């Protein structure tokens, strides 16, 4: 600034000041431009008082100030273009991921048994993650067994071989997806209601682990319904003998309804994550309502499939030992977010008891009771969940302070399409709970206490020791 005006170098010092803003923020760039302009003006005044002011001096200062403005303007435009390109690239990646997830849902959705589901899932996951290979199989005593699939087919697989410990054991604190072999192999699990888990082995994935985690979350509910579909397909001959209507019901709700609902849910979640740009709050609320409605329809489809299973006349598979406390805790975890959203607290006090039966069906019976309690209990209240031994039986009681069943409706409470509580419902939940209880040698009852509490009690025979 104090360099004599005859030296052009002094007038050009403001350009590097503007150039130094290239790595900063927009605000920093504007601040440095202001410093450059102020420095030039101050230098012009100081030099004019010291050496006088000539047209040449004015020209030098003007050139210096214009250079700073030009560099600063170009800096801002370059930064904006870079940020815009980064946003477009991120949006492109997000849209590509959502398209891939939709393809995954469409590939594995349908009237498939678990073997076909596993084969389709392996191929779809390989395409989604860009992996060198994807292998899926049931883990039984550290050995990989059927249902099993390997993509691409014909490669070196692990079917029938003992798996190493680092593949079997999930590291403490790991997420749904964890890595072994220096990160070259990604692992995850798909749980099954009353069978061993399915192990996913993804080798040489090009996509990050969160892509596989999102795919596993998408596949899990489809696998659950596939297990139920397997049970129904085993009785296909009986269903055909009992009428074409029941058969149409099974296939309609296993494919024609579920597939578009799952695809629609993927689209709505993508919109909520910003795949199509920012949305007004009113639109976001509408999308959340749509997801809730989708979930209700999928739950109804599951209930109708179970009704079809029990109405077929031979709904019982081979009974297995079931830790009823674990089943109830799993349902509490699932229902708790919905209850908390209404200001309702779930308070479980559970003894460890074991019964004989089907874990998936018992889970549905427990979920029906807890869903009703969480829906009808007044905000700010507590739903008490008690599991205890009662002689040679296990008794699960669900107490809530809701309005209860209207007088005269108790007799039909557990019949089909006879919803009895405030707000109604599909009329299948309590009926299905009764059918499941009876199929397991138990019962479900309703009482109203003197303290105006509704009590639903599911009673089941204890497992013989």
For residue 278, tell me if it sits in a domain.
Answer: yes
Let me know if 368 is exposed, middle or buried by CB neighbors in 10 A (0-12, 13-18, 19+): buried
- Indicate if 418 and 338 belong to the same structural domain: yes
Looking at the structure, do residues 362 and 442 belong to the same domain, yes or no? yes
Residue whose pair of structure tokens reads 């008891």 in the numeric block: 353
Domain for residue 93, yes or no? no
Inter-helix orientation angle 324-341/359-376, to 10°: 30
What's the pLDDT tens digit per position in 129-154?
889 999 999 999 899 999 999 999 88
Please list, in sequence order, all residues whose beta carbon lies within 8 angstroms of the beta carbon of residue 62, skipping any fewer than 6 positions away: none
CATH code of the domain covering residue 446: 3.30.565.10
Q: Quick one: CA torsion of 120, 123, 128, 133, rounded to 10 degrees?
A: 150
- Radius of gyration from C-alpha coordinates of the chain: 33
For residue 270, being part of any structural domain is answered with: yes
Do 148 and 191 fall within a single domain?
yes
Domain assignment of residue 94, yes or no: no
Of 315, 348, 367, the one marking the end of a domain is: 315
Of the three residues 183, 209, 230, the one that is the final residue of a domain is 230
pLDDT at position 2:
44
For residues 260 and 333, state if they share a domain: no
Mean pLDDT per 10-residue interval, the chain, length 465 residues: 45 48 64 74 76 74 76 75 80 74 82 86 90 93 92 89 87 85 91 85 91 89 77 64 58 61 81 85 86 75 69 66 93 90 92 91 91 90 93 94 81 69 60 89 90 91 81
In a domain, residue 290? The reply is yes
- 26 & 140 share domain: no
CA distance 268 to 278: 13
Pairing of strands 382-390, 345-350: parallel
Residue 414 CA from chain centroid, whole number: 33
65 phi/psi in degrees, rounded to 5: -70, -40
Query: How far, in Å, CA of 384 to CA of 350, rounded?
Result: 10
Q: How many angstroms separate the CA atoms of 368 and 302, rounded?
A: 12
pLDDT at 381: 92
pLDDT of residue 343: 93
d(CA 150, CA 38): 69
Quote the CA–CA distance of 66 and 265 in Å, as a whole number: 55
How many angstroms from the chain centroid is the CA of residue 277? Answer: 21
Give the containing element (helix H, strand E) for 321: strand 320-323
Q: Which residues fall within 8 angstroms of residue 258, CB to CB, at 6 or more apart?
A: 109, 225, 298, 301
Q: How many residues does the chain have?
A: 465
Q: Which two three-digit tokens encode residue 314?
A: 């031979």
In-domain check, residue 430:
yes
Does 100 reside within a domain? no
What pLDDT score was predicted for residue 188? Answer: 93
CATH of the domain at 198: 3.30.450.40
| Residue 48 structural domain | 8-86
Angle between the N-to-C axes of helices 281-311 and 244-251, in degrees from 0 to 180, rounded to the nearest 10 = 140
Give pLDDT, residue 422: 42
Last-in-domain residue among 285, 300, 315:
315
Long-range contacts of 401-405 (CB under 8 A, 24+ apart): 401/377, 401/452, 401/453, 401/454, 402/373, 402/376, 402/377, 402/378, 402/454, 403/376, 404/448, 404/452, 404/454, 405/446, 405/448, 405/454
Number of domains in the chain: 4
Domain membership of residue 92 (yes or no) is: no
């Amino acid at each position: 600034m104090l360099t004599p005006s005859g030296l052009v170098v002094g007038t050009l010092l403001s350009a590097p000041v503007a150039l130094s803003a290239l790595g900063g923020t927009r605000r920093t760039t504007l601040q440095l431009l202001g410093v450059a302009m102020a420095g030039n003006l101050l230098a012009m005044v100081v030099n004019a008082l010291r050496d006088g002011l000539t047209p040449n001096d004015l020209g030098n200062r003007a050139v210096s100030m214009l250079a700073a403005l030009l560099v600063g303007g170009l800096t801002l435009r370059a930064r904006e273009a870079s940020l815009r390109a980064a946003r477009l690239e991120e949006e492109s990646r997000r849209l590509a991921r959502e398209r891939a997830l939709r393809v995954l849902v469409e590939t594995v959705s349908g009237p498939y048994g678990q073997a076909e589901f596993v084969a389709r899932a392996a191929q779809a996951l390989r395409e989604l993650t860009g992996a060198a290979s994807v292998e899926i199989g049931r883990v039984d005593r550290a050995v990989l067994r059927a249902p099993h699939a390997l993509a691409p087919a014909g490669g070196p697989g692990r079917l029938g071989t003992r798996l190493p410990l680092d593949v079997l054991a999930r590291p403490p604190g790991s997420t749904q997806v964890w890595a072994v072999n220096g990160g070259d192999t990604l692992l995850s699990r798909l749980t099954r209601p009353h069978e061993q888990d399915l192990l996913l082995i993804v080798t040489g994935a090009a996509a990050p682990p969160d892509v596989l985690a999102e795919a596993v979350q998408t596949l899990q509910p489809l696998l659950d319904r596939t297990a139920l579909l397997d049970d129904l397909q085993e009785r296909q001959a009986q269903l055909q003998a009992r009428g074409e209507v029941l058969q149409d019901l099974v296939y309609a709700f296993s494919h024609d309804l579920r597939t578009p609902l799952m695809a629609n849910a993927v689209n709505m979640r993508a919109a909520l994550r910003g795949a199509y740009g920012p949305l007004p709050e009113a639109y976001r609320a509408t999308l959340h309502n749509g997801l809730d409605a989708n979930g209700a329809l999928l739950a109804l489809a599951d209930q109708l499939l179970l009704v079809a299973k029990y109405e077929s006349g031979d709904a019982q598979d081979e009974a297995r030992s079931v830790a009823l406390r674990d089943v109830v805790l799993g349902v509490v975890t699932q229902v708790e977010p919905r209850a908390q959203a209404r200001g309702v607290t779930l308070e479980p006090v559970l003894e460890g008891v074991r019964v004989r039966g089907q874990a998936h069906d018992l889970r549905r019976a427990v979920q029906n009771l807890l869903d009703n309690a969480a829906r009808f209990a007044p905000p700010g209240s507590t739903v008490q969940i008690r599991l205890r031994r009662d002689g040679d039986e296990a008794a699960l009681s669900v107490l809530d302070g809701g309005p209860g069943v209207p007088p005269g409706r108790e007799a039909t409470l557990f019949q089909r399409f006879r919803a009895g509580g405030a707000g109604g419902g599909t009329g299948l939940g309590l009926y299905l709970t009764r059918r499941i209880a009876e199929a397991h040698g138990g019962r479900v009852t309703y009482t109203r206490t003197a303290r105006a509490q509704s009590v639903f009690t599911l009673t089941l025979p204890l497992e013989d020791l």
